[in-house]
Structure 1
């Protein structure tokens, strides 16, 4: 970035109306590089223990790769791609040893100190980029209903209420390799907001509603509001909820007081 900035961030997680929590969410600040942040949301699937094992593997892999990452010399897009591929392999190995079928989505974004932002996702956990109270871009789900939307057979609104809205066509831990869909924001600016969340959150909001909440509230207030509102709208049938929000703010330089010099 050309001007000084700061990152204001928050995470939120709730088991919703499920008996157990299979989502995982993390915002990691790099131990050696100030302003380098990794956000990860993983929505585990495959039964109580299987889903949690899968999302745990995603988080463990993310922490290990991020600790070794250097924004000065390493390729951010390659690191995120390695995260998806390595987590997928570990989850597959877990399935063999435990005789379960663990799967997980992933939505991960990496912000470098110089202000570029990279993201990657697999499944139906999403990443949103907001600017000035409007949606700039979001990930496209690797799901059956998203394919229907892409073909023009149903609308975005109809996708939310479709009886097969929970069917994924790609995720971590499946027999086929997970889809790897990268995205690059060349330069974040003050007023930009990056949000990653599981389907337990985004399912209950339109993009305009999310943009309005993100613009009006701080990241901490927004995470609390969105979880509470999603739980209310789910009417007792809600999924696990997890989200991470990072807002870019400009640093206001303090003006030095004027000194009066007598002649």
Structure 2
């Protein structure tokens, strides 16, 4: 089945002094229908987080340029991009005397297949129309508590330790990666990658409505506008990438 793609990446600095998120949608330089979307949320003091997030984008772009879809797996591309970024961020500690870290979430779109991987609490969402198909589970302290049944998902949203991660790129410990894949793609499917500065202001139904009722650009504008309003002057950096699958337009007679 032929599918058209509507995509957009967007950012807002929020109420922070610096934009430490990075986001990109990168088309494969040689393979039609192959694209990599990336969101990275940097942490680590003034400029340190921004440099870490920038390293994630740089590594992903470089690996995509050398990726051979017919010979190499999506899992290989995603894992190596995150693992190499981790190594480079960790090495940068010795050069700039900072403590840089970054989350990463990546989506690789290929004809008839979608793959994703992540480290930290930047998220991937998949919807069919307004229905949530799946979302990633954060590598965070509160999600660990939710999984153990010690707190509810609603309590996690306001837990005082909700921003504590159990893994990230650039830390002393080896990072934790989680991956997913689907070959069930249909027109009307929407996918979103975002930093916690976005998802922290919405429930899953609200995000599904924004994605289903708008173009990719319109969804980005709507989500950022609502997040900024709800932040009430105390908002984090916001970064998101939206990819919507559409029926191709009928050729003109």
Shared topology, TM-score over 0.5?
A: yes
* 1:92 CA drift (Å): 0.3
Q: What is the match of residue 118 of structure 2?
A: 121
Alignment of 1:221-232 (within 5 A): 221-232=218-229
Residue of structure 2 aligned with 1:83, choices 78, 81, 84:
81
> Any idea what SS the aligned residue of 2:47 has?
helix
Residue of structure 2 aligned with 1:239, choices 231, 236, 253:
236
> Any idea what SS the aligned residue of 2:71 has?
coil
RMSD over equivalenced CA pairs, Å:
1.0
Tell me how far apart the structure 2 counterparts of residues 80 and 234 of structure 1 sit (CA, whole Å).
Answer: 32
Residue of structure 2 aligned with 1:157, choices 128, 138, 154:
154
Q: What is the match of residue 95 of structure 1?
A: 93
* 1:149 CA drift (Å): 0.8
Q: What is the match of residue 171 of structure 2?
A: 174
State the TM-score, normalizing by the size of structure 2. Answer: 0.98
Q: Which consecutive aligned stretches of 4+ in structure 1 deviate over 2 angstroms post-superposition?
A: 252-256
> Any idea what SS the aligned residue of 1:33 has?
coil
State the TM-score, normalizing by the size of structure 1. Answer: 0.94
**Could you report, residue by residue, the CA deviation over 1:204-251 in whole angstroms, capped at 9, with x for unpaired residues?**
000011001111111101101111110110111110000000000111
* 1:53 CA drift (Å): 0.8
Name the count of aligned residue pairs.
Answer: 253
List gaps (5 residues or longer) in structure 2.
none
* 1:115 CA drift (Å): 1.7
Tell me how far apart the structure 2 counterparts of residues 90 and 230 of structure 1 sit (CA, whole Å).
Answer: 32
List gaps (5 residues or longer) in structure 1.
257-263
Residue of structure 1 aligned with 2:130, choices 125, 130, 133:
133
User: Who wins on radius of gyration, i.e. which is larger?
Assistant: 1
Q: What is the match of residue 216 of structure 1?
A: 213
Tell me how far apart the structure 1 counterparts of residues 154 and 9 of structure 2 sit (CA, whole Å).
Answer: 27
Q: What is the match of residue 16 of structure 1?
A: 14
Residue 45 (structure 1) aligned with residue 43 (structure 2):
yes
